[in-house]
Structure 1
Amino acid sequence: MYTRRSSSSSDRSSGPESSSPGQYSPSGYHMIKVYILQAKLDATAVAELYTLIKSCKDVPDGLRLQLCGNPSDADVILSNVHMRKRLERHLDWDIAKQKAIVTPDWLHDSVAQQRPLNCADYAALGELREETDKNCPDCDLPKCICSSESSKESLLDNGTMNLITSPHVSYNYAARYSCQRASPLVCPNQRLANELSVLRIHRDLEGKTVNALSYERAIAVSTGLRLAYPRVITQADLDTEVVHLPYLGEKIRSKVLLCFRGCYHYVNDALTKINEFIRFGRIEECNTIRSSARFLSLKAFASIHGVGSTTARHLYSIGLRTVEDMEQYYDVPIADDGVPLLPNNEPKYTPNGKRIPTNDTIPDLDIKAALVLRHEFAISISRSEVEEMHNLIMAELNDLKPGCASTIVGGYRRGKPESNDVDIVITHADLRGGGEKITGLRKRFVERLYNRGLVSHVARGAGFIAQDSFRWHSLENALTVFRLPAQVDARHLHRRLDLIIAAPEAYWSAVVGWTGSKMFERDLRLWAKTEKGLKFDSSAVTRRHDSKRFFPQSENDVFSLLGLQWIDPTLRNADI
């Protein structure tokens, strides 16, 4: 077990002249990327190292450190392993010779002096002392590129980091498919989109799926106006431009008129609603819906993880009206102070921080657990917390299976400032043998995270995403409940974390498929089927007439195979 060595000021300044304070300009320090090799480190020591690195992340005039999830991208590797044979179990020797591998004391002492100290004095392996000295970062270190968003691209070089969305796409607001037009996060017509979203949610909760989809498409179109219309839509815009847009045009107007005859009662009347909003600044039906007790109950029920609209309507039909009613219905234990309790399955640790093994399986994220955790799930996750989670996940993963790489997808990748959950697509960088290396990785990795006290629950329904013979081996996922260590985040909140593990050949399809948004992905599949005779899913692009599979070599390849122009992830926000 790692024991912190005692150090004096003379010890810490005993390095060569190149490490003396006069040689450093604090304002000139570049970010130093640090990877923690967790072998022979207990949980308490690891958490302490995370905290130290985090404390130096945003220091403008001092030592600046960033946690890396992949040893290949790191400048410094912290290790308590002192023998080559043991090190090679966790780190490729060729990579080891290209890095500064030091004991954790280097971090403690460097943080104490707020400058990077001479690595050779802290070399973890004697036979790598020369390489550690040679690779030690100093004030001439290039700017850090080990960000959570770029580590995967730099590793597999997907070629999309410098791609620019074509102006044609940016102003293609009249396109039928949302995968042909740019949809930024916020637009001048956001209030209109928010009103239409109320109608969509209401229709969905009431089981009117077709009608809900119509409003979802209307929202996608109205948000697609955001670049073409750098102002709020006016009546003149509605009569001259908006009326001709897909899903909002004259054909829809005719169906709205015919709906009174009972023939098209289910058809989208979005144009009428938009017209009402432009004229009066509101949609009266939205006000009625918001004040509806039934709508408020159904919406509250459906906000609980694992409860869909059908279950929500059933709960309402048997007399439930509040989430507290649900707690009673599902027999959620309540403490004396009225706070719901989780079953007594919290992990137990020895005094030195090691988890006490049990024969219990990982607790299920069922409705009862979701009810208890609902308040924590409702707290938005900042981008910095997403990145902390990602770095910690990759540090754990690379300790278990070196050579893995990943991309954070979902709303984070589309530029959202806050997320409801976190989605990470993971693969192995070995494009030839990586598929074999990740076989069975999901189960082993989730168990590791649970035993480390980082995962508290897993959804039993999660697993292989599909049953066909190819996808069974190329893509699997685990929906988990994750907690950052209290030493890293004092709130110690439960967060929903979806881990998608893809074979290397399926990786870029998975990245596109899980980036979203929901309507963007729906239209991507519809475009592939209707316009190109292809099938797109998160594992591959497949030609329908002969089932030939195509495996994109980059994210841009996915768009090229589908005959689409590149759209930046931040312009794929076709939903609210």
Structure 2
Amino acid sequence: MTGSQASDSTVGKEHDALHPTPKSNLRLECLPPVFVLALHLSTEELHRAEDELSCHGAPLTYDITEARIVLGNTAKKRRAKLELQWANVMIDESDASKSESPLKATGKGDRNVPATKRRKLNKNLESRMVTAETKSSPGSSTAESETENEDNTGLKPLSQLSISQVEKASVADTSDSEASEKSSSSPFDRDSFAGRVKVVKLDWFYESLAKGKPQPFEPFIVYEAKLLPPHEPAIRAQTVSSTIATRLPRPTAVCSPHVEESAVHEIVKRAQADAKPHFSRNQRRERVNDAMKNDFTGRRFLHAGGSKNQSFTKPSKLLHQTTSEHDEDISQALPQMPDWVLQNKIYSCERSTPLHCPNENFIEQLSSIKLARVLTGDDIGVRAYSTSIASIAAYPHVIASMREVLALPGCDQKIAYLFHEWQDSGGTIQAVADIESNQVLTVLRQFYEIWGVGAKTAREFYYDHGWRELDDIVEKGWKSLQRVQQIGLKYYDEFQLKMPRSEVEAIAAIVAEHGCRVTDSGLECIIVGGYRRGKDKCGDVDIILSHREEHQTYDLVDRVTKSLETEGWITHTLTVNLTNTKRDQQPLPLAPLAGGHGFDTLDKALVVWQSQDWPTRSADLAVNPRAKNQNPHRRVDIIVSPWRTVGCAIAGWTSGTTFQRDLRRYVKKVKGWKFDSSGVRERGSGRWVDLEEWGDPKTRAPTWQVAERRVFEGLGLVYREPWERCTG
């Protein structure tokens, strides 16, 4: 084998690896441009569908405005239409789809013209074009070049043609024999795609794949519409075309009218694309980041050092001190420092953090800056401020100097500078004032407070969709929201209300009652979250259910939820996860087979709760038969843990966010283990570490309180009461 042959062989193997040979004889080169909707498809499913279509020759496009066939996992005409409108596809609504998908197999055409007559018309058109080309000057290089390009256009696959060329190619076949052959082998009329877009069920492709040949589109068409030029009515586009045509320089030789018209359409298309470009998902993400840079560059509440792709602001200033201030700091004696400061313990799980501390006012200012970091996507800044806030919250003395700030683990010169400013100004920080007056952050914060909307989604609402108020989301994007977001928006005002501890206890008592109905009296019900840490007002209710008999906790969350729904306590069940039941209630494996996971993988249900205690129900209904329950809707999380790891579950769900994060970091760094609410694993072997001594029935924890203490002892930590884990 020669060197060139070896090289060709290598290149061939690489090509085969990138473009696998289709398992079916299905060939889709004859299709117009195809776009795959991401609707109801995971990223993996979307990529798989696109890869399979590409392997079978389909001319894929990633710009939906170029597509003539849109494959999607939807069966509703209204949703298909909205998907096109949201993607800025300009459609003529007066020409709504009538589910007419003319098929050559049935002898019907898009314009009610028989297929035989269309072939004759196409043949006559070809004859006229050939005659025009023959009459062109043979000595003109311009005429020869343009004629050659036109001929090549007819020979190229549609995946290599522009949209205007596809539409021209769909008007006439290259010869009568080819038209006759495609009439018998192709199940659709190419003329029907000229200037139109069709939303087709993705099932069409899989059925064609199974049968080895393209199937008729008609049974799978969800929506069909005529296309309009972007942001221009049809009559306007014709006027522009004619105007441009009159101003084009005429070639010396006589050109085919078809060629000249194609050139005009190409120019119009490029001009329209320049007027308003269309963006892919990645491009939209970059636009959001660029818009954020324009809004926040140079702001004092942000500084460099955020995410690797972000650099919104300038570096923070150095701390300046006069000689007198410096001497005063040195002469001022520091108070007695706690042991965790002297030993520089950086993990908040190694110290006590009370619910209320002497420096709450300063922490409130830092928390505002931290929230701004959350809203702008600065993950590194969020972690840094969380560490500093937790350290200051654990400090038992009122901070009097910058030296004290710098002595605390996790507090650097930036925090010291902010404290200096806060102290000199009488309790204010300019960065916080900027945050409160910033209109963009005000809107982002409002969106972020919708249940089910994170910071990333809030930024997409603002920058990508251009929404500025909650009403904008309802009016312009309601159908695009996930169900959990719709519920969060519907009860936005009610979810902002805090509930007293007595109401939390009442909700837990009802959940426990229904839990005993579906199991027995041995069920344990523990209120965790902010309630257990001692908060006077709670935003939601977190409840853990457990039972000493392991079989009682299988599918328990599903049974309890259905029982509560029957009596009307639960108005909306948003999610029911049986992750723990599906893995036989074993601690989470060290390396999951697919996907990642968060801190918690227990069975749980996120629900919307409304109290059925309505004392004036009869009187209200007598006055107004349509009267509604006036009790506010509440957010309730019901979690189920098997008894073998109930201590880990309670420790995780009780502690503050930074305490949980530092607990995982500590266990990884000091013990070499992996901790989550379903148990502890050795990182080396993946072996479950039984900290709660569940393996021996004689040594099992008699109560959940004992189980939680054993978790702290097994990790080598001093047990902290729930009200000592208030890190925020």
TM-score band by shorter chain is: 0.5 to 0.7
Contact persistence 2:558–2:576 (CA under 8 A): no
Instruction: Note the C-alpha offset of 1:436.
Output: 1.3
Q: Is the partner of 1:479 in helix, strand or coil?
A: strand
Superposition RMSD on alpha carbons, in Å?
A: 2.5
Q: So what's the TM-score if we normalise by structure 2?
A: 0.46
Q: Give runs of aligned pairs for residues 478-497 of structure 1, distance below 5 A.
A: 478-487=605-614, 491-497=630-636
Match of residue 427 from structure 1: 546
Contact persistence 1:365–1:458 (CA under 8 A): no
Instruction: Note the C-alpha offset of 1:467.
Output: 8.0
What is the alpha-carbon distance in structure 1 between the residues aligned to residue 673 and residue 337 of structure 2?
Answer: 22
Contact persistence 2:501–2:531 (CA under 8 A): yes
Which of 452, 459, 465 is residue 313 of structure 1 equivalent to?
A: 459
Instruction: Note the C-alpha offset of 1:548.
Output: 2.2
Deviation string 1:465-496 (CA, Å, 9 cap, x unpaired) is: 69867247993111111122124798522111
What is the alpha-carbon distance in structure 1 between the residues aligned to residue 588 and residue 410 of structure 2?
Answer: 37
Match of residue 718 from structure 2: 565
Deviation string 1:480-523 (CA, Å, 9 cap, x unpaired) is: 11122124798522111101101110111100010020000000
Cα separation, partners in 2 of 1:468 and 1:212, compared to 1, 3 Å: farther
Contact persistence 1:528–1:536 (CA under 8 A): yes
Cα separation, partners in 2 of 1:169 and 1:365, compared to 1, 3 Å: farther
Which of 459, 471, 475 is residue 574 of structure 2 equivalent to?
A: 459
Letter in 2 for 1:242: V
Which of 522, 532, 536 is residue 417 of structure 1 equivalent to?
A: 536
Match of residue 298 from structure 1: 444
Letter in 2 for 1:270: I
Contact persistence 1:203–1:209 (CA under 8 A): yes
Q: Is the partner of 1:416 in helix, strand or coil?
A: coil
Which of 473, 476, 479 is residue 326 of structure 1 equivalent to?
A: 473
- 1:404 matched to 2:523: yes
- 1:523 matched to 2:650: no
Match of residue 126 from structure 1: none
Deviation string 1:517-560 (CA, Å, 9 cap, x unpaired) is: 00000000000001111111101122222222223241111111
Deviation string 1:388-438 (CA, Å, 9 cap, x unpaired) is: 00111111111121121121000000000011100011111x3xxx22121
Instruction: Note the C-alpha offset of 1:172.
Output: 3.2
Deviation string 1:262-314 (CA, Å, 9 cap, x unpaired) is: xxxxxxx3232222222322211110011000000000000001101111001
Contact persistence 1:171–1:181 (CA under 8 A): no
What is the alpha-carbon distance in structure 2 between the residues aligned to residue 310 and residue 271 of structure 1?
Answer: 30
Q: Is the partner of 2:609 in helix, strand or coil?
A: strand
Instruction: Note the C-alpha offset of 1:384.
Output: 0.3
What is the alpha-carbon distance in structure 1 between the residues aligned to residue 615 and residue 578 of structure 2?
Answer: 29
Match of residue 128 from structure 1: none
- After superposing the two structures, state which structure 1 stretch, 457-466 or 467-476, moved more: 467-476
Match of residue 643 from structure 2: 504
Cα separation, partners in 2 of 1:218 and 1:472, compared to 1, 3 Å: closer
Identity, % of aligned positions: 30
What is the alpha-carbon distance in structure 2 between the residues aligned to residue 545 and residue 568 of structure 1?
Answer: 31
Q: Is the partner of 1:234 in helix, strand or coil?
A: coil
What is the alpha-carbon distance in structure 1 between the residues aligned to residue 580 and residue 338 of structure 2?
Answer: 33
What is the alpha-carbon distance in structure 2 between the residues aligned to residue 488 and residue 401 of structure 1?
Answer: 30
Structure with greater proportional helix content: 2
Instruction: Note the C-alpha offset of 1:460.
Output: 3.0
Contact persistence 2:554–2:581 (CA under 8 A): no
What is the alpha-carbon distance in structure 2 between the residues aligned to residue 488 and residue 427 of structure 1?
Answer: 33
Q: Give runs of aligned pairs for residues 8-19 of structure 1, distance below 5 A.
A: none
- 1:210 matched to 2:380: yes
Q: Is the partner of 1:186 in helix, strand or coil?
A: coil
Match of residue 416 from structure 2: 271
Instruction: Note the C-alpha offset of 1:441.
Output: 1.4
- 1:574 matched to 2:727: yes
What is the alpha-carbon distance in structure 2 between the residues aligned to residue 535 and residue 404 of structure 1?
Answer: 28
What is the alpha-carbon distance in structure 1 between the residues aligned to residue 559 and residue 502 of structure 2?
Answer: 27
Contact persistence 2:588–2:678 (CA under 8 A): no
Contact persistence 2:405–2:415 (CA under 8 A): no
What is the alpha-carbon distance in structure 2 between the residues aligned to residue 527 and residue 310 of structure 1?
Answer: 29
Cα separation, partners in 2 of 1:466 and 1:401, compared to 1, 3 Å: closer
How many residue pairs get matched? 349
What is the alpha-carbon distance in structure 1 between the residues aligned to residue 630 and residue 542 of structure 2?
Answer: 21
Match of residue 67 from structure 1: none
- 1:244 matched to 2:407: yes
Cα separation, partners in 2 of 1:456 and 1:531, compared to 1, 3 Å: same
What is the alpha-carbon distance in structure 2 between the residues aligned to residue 191 and residue 404 of structure 1?
Answer: 42
Larger Rg: 2
Letter in 2 for 1:425: I
Letter in 2 for 1:202: A
Q: Is the partner of 1:459 in helix, strand or coil?
A: strand
- 1:445 matched to 2:560: yes
Cα separation, partners in 2 of 1:404 and 1:472, compared to 1, 3 Å: farther
Cα separation, partners in 2 of 1:463 and 1:457, compared to 1, 3 Å: farther
Cα separation, partners in 2 of 1:388 and 1:170, compared to 1, 3 Å: farther
Match of residue 141 from structure 1: none
What is the alpha-carbon distance in structure 2 between the residues aligned to residue 390 and residue 521 of structure 1?
Answer: 23
What is the alpha-carbon distance in structure 1 between the residues aligned to residue 394 and residue 370 of structure 2?
Answer: 17
Match of residue 335 from structure 1: none
Cα separation, partners in 2 of 1:528 and 1:244, compared to 1, 3 Å: same
- Where in structure 2 are there 5+ consecutive unaligned residues? 1-335, 590-600, 617-628, 693-700, 702-706
Letter in 1 for 2:452: G
Contact persistence 2:575–2:607 (CA under 8 A): no
What is the alpha-carbon distance in structure 2 between the residues aligned to residue 304 and residue 294 of structure 1?
Answer: 16
What is the alpha-carbon distance in structure 1 between the residues aligned to residue 615 and residue 640 of structure 2?
Answer: 26
Match of residue 546 from structure 1: 685
Cα separation, partners in 2 of 1:439 and 1:461, compared to 1, 3 Å: closer
Match of residue 266 from structure 1: none
Q: Is the partner of 1:331 in helix, strand or coil?
A: helix
What is the alpha-carbon distance in structure 1 between the residues aligned to residue 551 and residue 583 of structure 2?
Answer: 18
Cα separation, partners in 2 of 1:449 and 1:461, compared to 1, 3 Å: closer
Q: Give runs of aligned pairs for residues 375-394 of structure 1, distance below 5 A.
A: 375-394=493-512
Match of residue 234 from structure 1: 400
Contact persistence 2:587–2:688 (CA under 8 A): no
Instruction: Note the C-alpha offset of 1:198.
Output: 0.6
Letter in 1 for 2:410: Y
Letter in 2 for 1:222: I
What is the alpha-carbon distance in structure 1 between the residues aligned to residue 483 and residue 608 of structure 2?
Answer: 8
Contact persistence 2:495–2:539 (CA under 8 A): yes
Cα separation, partners in 2 of 1:435 and 1:202, compared to 1, 3 Å: same
